[in-house]
Amino acid sequence: MRATSVAAPMALLLSSSRAYTLPSLVPTGPFFQDLGNETWVIGNEIWNMTQGRQYGVELYYKDHDCVGDAVGHYVNHNGAQSDLNWTSASIHHEGTYQGATYLDVQFAAREGDMHWVIFAGLAGAYQYFVNRDLPVLGEFRTLWRLDNTTFTHGKTDLRDEALPPLSDYLPENKVQDETWRTPGAGGGGGGGYITKYDLTSWVRTQTYYGVYGERFGSWYINAGKDYYNGNHLKQELMIHRESKTGDAVQLSMIHGTHFQVSAVDEFPEGKMWGPWLWYLNDGSREDAAQRAQAEFAAWPYAWFEDEAYHQRGSVQGQLLLSDGRPAAHAAMFLGDNNQSKTALDMCSDYYYTGYTDAEGRFEFQHVRAAAYGLQVWSNGSEMADVTTEFLRKDVVVVAGETTELATMAWPVSNKTRIFQVGDFDRTSYGFAHGGAPYEHGLVEKCPADLRFTVGTSQTEDWCFGQSKLGSWVISFSLDQSPAPCQREGRSNEEATLIMSLAGYSTGASSRVWANDVVIGNLTSGAAPGLLNDPSLYRAGTTAGEWRYFEFPFDAGTVLRPGDNEIRFEVTNNTTWRGFMWDSVVLE
Ligand SMILES: *[C@@H]1O[C@H](CO)[C@@H](O)[C@H](O)[C@H]1NC(C)=O
Ligand SMILES: *[C@@H]1O[C@H](CO)[C@@H](O)[C@H](O)[C@H]1NC(C)=O
Ligand SMILES: *[C@@H]1O[C@H](CO)[C@@H](O)[C@H](O)[C@H]1NC(C)=O
Ligand SMILES: *[C@@H]1O[C@H](CO)[C@@H](O)[C@H](O)[C@H]1NC(C)=O
Ligand SMILES: *[C@@H]1O[C@H](CO)[C@@H](O)[C@H](O)[C@H]1NC(C)=O
Ligand SMILES: *[C@@H]1O[C@H](CO)[C@@H](O)[C@H](O)[C@H]1NC(C)=O
Ligand SMILES: *[C@@H]1O[C@H](CO)[C@@H](O)[C@H](O)[C@H]1NC(C)=O
Ligand SMILES: *[C@@H]1O[C@H](CO)[C@@H](O)[C@H](O)[C@H]1NC(C)=O
Ligand SMILES: *[C@@H]1O[C@H](CO)[C@@H](O)[C@H](O)[C@H]1NC(C)=O
Ligand SMILES: *[C@@H]1O[C@H](CO)[C@@H](O)[C@H](O)[C@H]1NC(C)=O
**pLDDT tier at 188, thresholds 50, 70, 90:** very low
Name the least confident of 72-86, 394-408, 444-458, 529-543: 72-86
Compute the distance from residue 537 Cα to the ligand 10 centre, in Å.
Answer: 15
Mean pLDDT along residues 515-539: 93
For a pLDDT cut of 70, what percent of the chain falls above it? 92
Mean pLDDT along residues 192-213: 97
Is residue 507 in a domain?
yes
Flag whether pLDDT at 444 surpasses 60. yes
Q: Are residues 252 and 322 in the same domain?
A: no
CATH of the domain at 405: 2.60.40.10
The response to whether residue 78 sits with its C-beta less than 6 Å from ligand 3 reads: no
Please name the residue whose Cα sits nearest to atom 1 of ligand 6.
338
Compute the distance from residue 572 Cα to the ligand 9 centre, in Å.
Answer: 15
Cα separations (Å) of 511 from 29, 524, 567, 571?
Answer: 66, 11, 8, 7
User: What integer pLDDT is reported at residue 493 of this predicted model?
Assistant: 65
Number of the ligand 9 atom closest to the C-alpha atom of 521: 1
Flag whether pLDDT at 13 surpasses 60. no
Q: Are residues 120 and 222 in the same domain?
A: yes
User: What integer pLDDT is reported at residue 184 of this predicted model?
Assistant: 79
For residue 117, how far is the Cα from the chain centroid?
25
Flag whether pLDDT at 277 surpasses 60. yes
Q: Which ligand is the nearest neighbour of the Cα of 554?
A: 9
Q: Count how many domains the chain has.
A: 3
Name the least confident of 6-20, 99-113, 194-208, 414-428: 6-20
The response to whether residue 127 sits with its C-beta less than 6 Å from ligand 5 reads: no
Mean pLDDT along residues 181-192: 67
Compute the distance from residue 12 Cα to the ligand 2 centre, in Å.
Answer: 15
Which candidate, 512, 507, 524, 520, places its Cα nearest to that of 575? 507
Strand-strand pairing, 578-586 and 517-522 = unpaired
**pLDDT tier at 78, thresholds 50, 70, 90:** confident
The response to whether residue 84 sits with its C-beta less than 6 Å from ligand 3 reads: yes
For a pLDDT cut of 90, what percent of the chain falls above it? 89
Q: pLDDT tens-digit profile of 312-370? A: 999 999 999 999 999 999 999 999 999 999 999 999 999 999 999 999 999 999 999 99
Q: Are residues 99 and 196 in the same domain?
A: yes
Flag whether pLDDT at 214 surpasses 90. yes
In terms of C-beta density within 10 A (0-12 exposed, 13-18 middle, 19 or more buried), how is residue 274 classed?
A: buried
Q: Are residues 264 and 337 in the same domain?
A: no
Flag whether pLDDT at 16 surpasses 50. no
User: Which of 378, 410, 414 to probe ligand 7 with, by most ligand atoms within 8 A of CB?
Assistant: 414
Is residue 218 in a domain?
yes
What does residue 48 show for φ and ψ, rounded to 5 degrees?
A: -155, 160
Q: Are residues 132 and 145 in the same domain?
A: yes
User: What integer pLDDT is reported at residue 528 of this predicted model?
Assistant: 79
Q: Which ligand is the nearest neighbour of the Cα of 58?
A: 2
For residue 367, how far is the Cα from the chain centroid?
20
How many distinct helices (H) and strands (E) make up the chain? 3, 41
Name the least confident of 284-288, 501-505, 517-521, 528-532: 528-532
Please name the residue whose Cα sits nearest to atom 4 of ligand 2.
63
**pLDDT tier at 526, thresholds 50, 70, 90:** confident
Q: pLDDT tens-digit profile of 98-151? A: 999 999 999 999 999 999 999 999 999 999 999 999 999 999 999 999 999 999
User: What integer pLDDT is reported at residue 21 of this predicted model?
Assistant: 43
Compute the distance from residue 44 Cα to the ligand 1 centre, in Å.
Answer: 20
User: What integer pLDDT is reported at residue 480 of this predicted model?
Assistant: 54
Strand-strand pairing, 209-212 and 217-221 = antiparallel
The response to whether residue 577 sits with its C-beta less than 6 Å from ligand 10 reads: no
User: What integer pLDDT is reported at residue 351 of this predicted model?
Assistant: 98
Flag whether pLDDT at 483 surpasses 60. no
- Which of 284, 309, 334 is the endpoint of a domain? 309
User: What integer pLDDT is reported at residue 19 of this predicted model?
Assistant: 41
Q: Which ligand is the nearest neighbour of the Cα of 423?
A: 5
Greater model confidence, 9 or 114:
114
- The partner residues of 550 in beta bridges, in order of sequence, read 498
User: Which of 175, 443, 445, 468 to probe ligand 10 with, by most ligand atoms within 8 A of CB?
Assistant: 468
Is residue 63 in a domain?
yes
Is residue 19 in a domain?
no
Q: Are residues 303 and 439 in the same domain?
A: no
Question: What is the helix (H) or strand (E) element at residue 9, kind and residue range?
Answer: helix 8-20
User: What integer pLDDT is reported at residue 283 of this predicted model?
Assistant: 98
Number of the ligand 1 atom closest to the C-alpha atom of 12: 5
- Which of 359, 393, 410 is the endpoint of a domain? 410
Q: State the average pLDDT for the chain.
A: 93
Name the least confident of 294-298, 359-363, 527-531, 543-547: 527-531
Mean pLDDT along residues 234-251: 98
**pLDDT tier at 492, thresholds 50, 70, 90:** low
pTM exceeding 0.75 = yes
Q: Are residues 354 and 495 in the same domain?
A: no
Which candidate, 390, 400, 372, places its Cα nearest to that of 327? 390
Strand-strand pairing, 465-466 and 153-155 = unpaired
Greater model confidence, 186 or 381:
381
Compute the distance from residue 242 Cα to the ligand 4 centre, in Å.
Answer: 9
Name the least confident of 21-30, 108-117, 296-305, 420-429: 21-30
Q: Where are the beta strands (DSSP E) in 13-121?
A: 31-34, 40-43, 47-51, 56-61, 64-65, 72-77, 88-97, 100-108, 112-119
CATH of the domain at 571: 2.60.120.260
Q: Which ligand is the nearest neighbour of the Cα of 570?
A: 10
User: What integer pLDDT is reported at residue 447 of this predicted model?
Assistant: 98
User: What integer pLDDT is reported at residue 26 of this predicted model?
Assistant: 56
Please name the residue whose Cα sits nearest to atom 9 of ligand 8.
572
Is residue 101 in a domain?
yes
Compute the distance from residue 415 Cα to the ligand 3 centre, in Å.
Answer: 58
Please name the residue whose Cα sits nearest to atom 12 of ligand 8.
572
Q: Are residues 392 and 503 in the same domain?
A: no
Which candidate, 584, 169, 525, places its Cα nearest to that of 384? 584
User: What integer pLDDT is reported at residue 484 of this predicted model?
Assistant: 45
- Beta carbons of 320 and 326 less than 8 angstroms apart: yes
Q: Are residues 69 and 184 in the same domain?
A: yes
Residue ranges lining ligand 1, Cβ < 6 Å: 11, 15, 35, 37, 39, 52
Flag whether pLDDT at 191 surpasses 60. no
Residue ranges lining ligand 7, Cβ < 6 Å: 322, 388, 411-414
Q: Are residues 222 and 264 in the same domain?
A: yes
DSSP single-letter state for residue 417: P
- Beta carbons of 178 and 258 less than 8 angstroms apart: no
Compute the distance from residue 83 Cα to the ligand 3 centre, in Å.
Answer: 6
Gyration radius (Cα) of the chain, Å: 27
User: Which of 13, 15, 16, 34 to probe ligand 1 with, by most ligand atoms within 8 A of CB?
Assistant: 15
Is residue 2 in a domain?
no
The response to whether residue 542 sits with its C-beta less than 6 Å from ligand 5 reads: no
- Beta carbons of 577 and 509 less than 8 angstroms apart: no
Compute the distance from residue 394 Cα to the ligand 6 centre, in Å.
Answer: 15
Please name the residue whose Cα sits nearest to atom 7 of ligand 3.
81
Out of 10-19, 392-401, 518-527, the most confident range is: 392-401
What does residue 464 show for φ and ψ, rounded to 5 degrees?
A: -70, -25
Q: Are residues 164 and 95 in the same domain?
A: yes
User: Which of 262, 336, 338, 372 to probe ligand 6 with, by most ligand atoms within 8 A of CB?
Assistant: 338
Question: What is the helix (H) or strand (E) element at residue 296, kind and residue range?
Answer: helix 285-298
Is residue 25 in a domain?
no
Contacts of 507 (CB under 8 A, 6+ apart): 524, 572, 573, 574, 577, 578
Compute the distance from residue 570 Cα to the ligand 9 centre, in Å.
Answer: 14
Is residue 21 in a domain?
no
- Which of 283, 309, 335 is the endpoint of a domain? 309
Q: Which range of residues forms the domain containing residue 101? A: 31-309
Number of the ligand 10 atom closest to the C-alpha atom of 469: 5
Cα torsion at 452, 233, 296, 101 (round to 10°)?
160
User: What integer pLDDT is reported at residue 186 of this predicted model?
Assistant: 58
Mean pLDDT along residues 173-196: 82
Q: Are residues 73 and 140 in the same domain?
A: yes
Please name the residue whose Cα sits nearest to atom 13 of ligand 8.
572
DSSP single-letter state for residue 212: E
Cα separations (Å) of 534 from 51, 195, 259, 477, 502?
Answer: 35, 14, 5, 36, 12
Flag whether pLDDT at 537 surpasses 50. yes
Please name the residue whose Cα sits nearest to atom 9 of ligand 2.
26
Q: How many CA atoms lie within 13 A of 399 on its CB side?
A: 5
User: What integer pLDDT is reported at residue 491 of this predicted model?
Assistant: 52
CATH of the domain at 143: 2.70.98.10
Mean pLDDT along residues 308-315: 98
